[in-house]
Chains A and B, each alone.
Chain A
Amino acid sequence: MSALTVVAALVATVVVYGITPHGDDINAPFNVRGNIGDVLTGRTLTGSVTSVRLASSIDATAADSDWTGETTGTWVVVEADIAARFEPSSLYRPTLTIGDTTYYATERLSLVTLDDGSVRPGISSAGVILFEVANDQLQSADAAKAEIGINSSFQSILDSRLVTEVDLTSLRVEANLAVSRPEERVL
């Protein structure tokens, strides 16, 4: 009887260890997953990634900015349409994850990208989020299963995150991509 109890306890320990999070997973976000065009709804945000394009440089003159987005890598230009659900919210550091590498949205082009402002309930903001990515990452096999993460709280700790899966290997690199400021529309 006692031997059986010990074995059962050991098995239970292994099961509990196996199904509980460890390390960074303890504070992991709750991902809401979808593909391009899917409207995803988390605790604080709702919206979709409407397109993803690659560019070697950015033209921001349409956004009243003379900034020229040159890069030694490639720009991943994410167009998204996002609204808050219940209270004003910011898009805190959107991410692009390729394999084990995570890129945060660039801060080089201020006041033009979607993550520079706040979003409001019932009012959707459509704009761009820019990632500056190394070329070898875009050519890796992992780029076919890249993930765009959009969240509203600091590093999305224990909060929902909208995750859009995208194949970056099938996209051609455009020479000079024009971007404009976010536009709002009532949902």
Chain B
Amino acid sequence: MSTEPPAASDPSWWRRNRWPVLALAVLLPGTMILTTSSEWFDYQNSLYSHAVTVPDGESAVYGGVEFRVDNTVLVRGGTEGGDELELDPGMDLIVAILEVTPGDEPIDSCNLTISATSPEHPERRTWNANVDLPRKFPPTGDSQTTCSDSEGKPYRLVVAATVPGGATETASWVDIEKLGLAPDYLALELSPSGISSASTSDEMSSSATSAARPDDLRQKSNATASRLMRTGSTSRSMRKPIG
């Protein structure tokens, strides 16, 4: 009579399948990431999602063109200057004057917006520039209102927007987007110290309202722009070119 040794118990399901299950746990997410990451990055790179912020008074090269904020004016609605421009009470008009120096590959078009934050709205909000302006916003004279090739010559670029009153209290920027340079866009900081609500707006509005003839209006508008240029910041530095 012989006795057989007891049969070893079968290994558990987990012990038998753990390696395939672990492999699936790694391979399934890995496959998802590999197959979708290209589209995801293409999509992200098509958005203007990366702000290259430029401190007020400094310059930056974007798409081969040098931009610098020379001065900023804020006109408040409900004030004398605002009334002369027929700016609605409760609204602010922000006007930035940029110095633009074209490079070898001049930008002949761009998207201009003004963005800002305030204590009530700490998230960044954006308004299209140079549309929906007050009815008596003065002509910009020789200054441009959009990016221009200008035959390679430096020019002034006026960027203006009507925004809710107080919308720019914390910070504000001129944003410049150029096709083909996404995801980078230029965010030129408008310093609060460069914003005034009294004399400069008076000059601006009076230049528009007191002129009797279109030529006078243009000359006075240019004179106002010149004064704004003279009172602007003079600090200047070059940043790493973008685009």
Interface residues of A (CB under 8 A from B): 1, 85-88, 118, 120-123, 184-187
Q: List 25 A-B contacts (CB under 8 A).
A: A1-B13, A85-B125, A86-B123, A86-B124, A86-B125, A86-B126, A87-B126, A88-B126, A88-B127, A88-B128, A120-B128, A121-B121, A121-B125, A121-B126, A121-B127, A121-B164, A121-B167, A122-B125, A122-B164, A122-B167, A123-B91, A184-B88, A186-B164, A186-B165, A187-B164
In the assembled complex, B190 has its CB within 8 A of some CB on chain A: no
Cα(A122)–Cα(B114), bound, Å: 14
Q: From A121, which residue of chain B is reached at the shortest CB distance?
A: B125
Q: Are B128 and A122 in contact (CB under 8 A)?
A: no
The reply on B85 being an interface residue by CB < 8 A is no
Shortest beta-carbon distance from B169 to chain A in Å = 12
Complex: chain B residue closest to A186, CB-CB:
B90
Residue among A1, A120, A187 making CB contact with B127, cutoff 8 Å: A120
Q: Which residues of B contact A85 (CB under 8 A)?
A: 125
CA distance A185 to B91 in the complex (A): 9
Taking Cβ atoms with an 8 Å cutoff, the residues of B that contact A are 13, 88, 90-91, 113, 121, 123-128, 132, 163-165, 167
CB distance from B133 to the nearest CB of A (A): 12
Q: Which of B88, B91, B125, B163 is A87 in contact with, Cβ under 8 Å?
A: B125
Report A-chain residues with C-beta under 8 Å of the C-beta of B90: 185-186
Known A118-B128, A122-B163; 5 more pairs at CB < 8 Å: A87-B125, A87-B126, A120-B128, A185-B90, A186-B88
Minimal Cβ-Cβ distance residue in B for A184: B88
Give Cα A165 to B167, complex, Å. 33
Give the complex CA separation of A187 and B88 in angstroms: 13
A6 smallest CB distance to B (angstroms): 14
In the bound complex, residues from chain B placing their C-beta under 8 Å from that of A185 are: 90
Residue in A1, A122, A184 whose beta carbon sits within 8 Å of that of B121 in the complex:
A122
What's the minimum C-beta distance from A164 to chain B, rounded to whole angstroms? 25
CB distance from A4 to the nearest CB of B (A): 11
Would you give the shortest CB distance from A108 to chain B, in whole angstroms?
25
CA distance A118 to B126 in the complex (A): 13
Which of chain B's residues have a CB closer than 8 A to the CB of A186?
Answer: 88, 90-91, 164-165
- State A117–B126 Cα separation when bound (angstroms): 17
Question: In whole Å, how far is B82's beta carbon from the nearest beta carbon of chain A?
Answer: 13
Whether the pair A123, B164 counts as a contact (CB closer than 8 A) is yes
Minimum Cβ distance to chain B for residue A59 (Å): 26
Question: Quick one: closest B residue to A83, CB to CB?
Answer: B164
Min C-beta distance of A18 to chain B, whole Å: 22
B230 to chain A, nearest CB (A): 33
The 6 A-B residue pairs whose C-beta atoms are closest, nearest first, are: A122-B164, A186-B90, A121-B125, A87-B126, A186-B164, A88-B128
User: How far in angstroms is the closest Cβ of chain A from B30?
Assistant: 21
Q: CB < 8 Å: which of A87, A120, A122, A187 contacts B132?
A: A120
Instruction: Give the docked Cα–Cα distance between A99 and B173 (Å).
Output: 47
User: Which residues on B sit within 8 Å (CB–CB) of A120?
Assistant: 127-128, 132
Q: How far is the CB of A37 from chain B (nearest CB, A)?
A: 23
Q: How far is the CA of A121 from the CA of B91 in the complex (A)?
A: 12
List residues of chain B with CB within 8 A of the CB of A87: 113, 125-126
Cα distance A26–B128 in the bound complex, in angstroms: 33
User: What CA separation (Å) do A187 and B164 show in the bound complex?
Assistant: 8
Closest-CB distance, A180 to chain B (whole angstroms): 17
Residues in A whose Cβ lies below 8 Å from that of B128: 88, 118, 120
Task: State A86–B163 Cα separation when bound (angstroms).
Answer: 12
Q: Please indicate the chain B residues that have their CB under 8 angstroms from the CB of A123 in the complex.
A: 91, 164
B233 to chain A, nearest CB (A): 28
**B167 / chain A contacts, CB cutoff of 8 Å:** 121-122
Cα A186 to Cα B92 in complex, Å, equals 10
Q: Inside 8 A of A184's CB, which chain B residues have their CB?
A: 88
- Min CB–CB distance B189 → chain A (angstroms): 19
Instruction: Report the nearest B residue to A123, measured CB to CB.
Output: B164
Q: Using Cβ atoms and an 8 Å threshold, which residues of chain B touch A118?
A: 128
CB distance from B142 to the nearest CB of A (A): 28
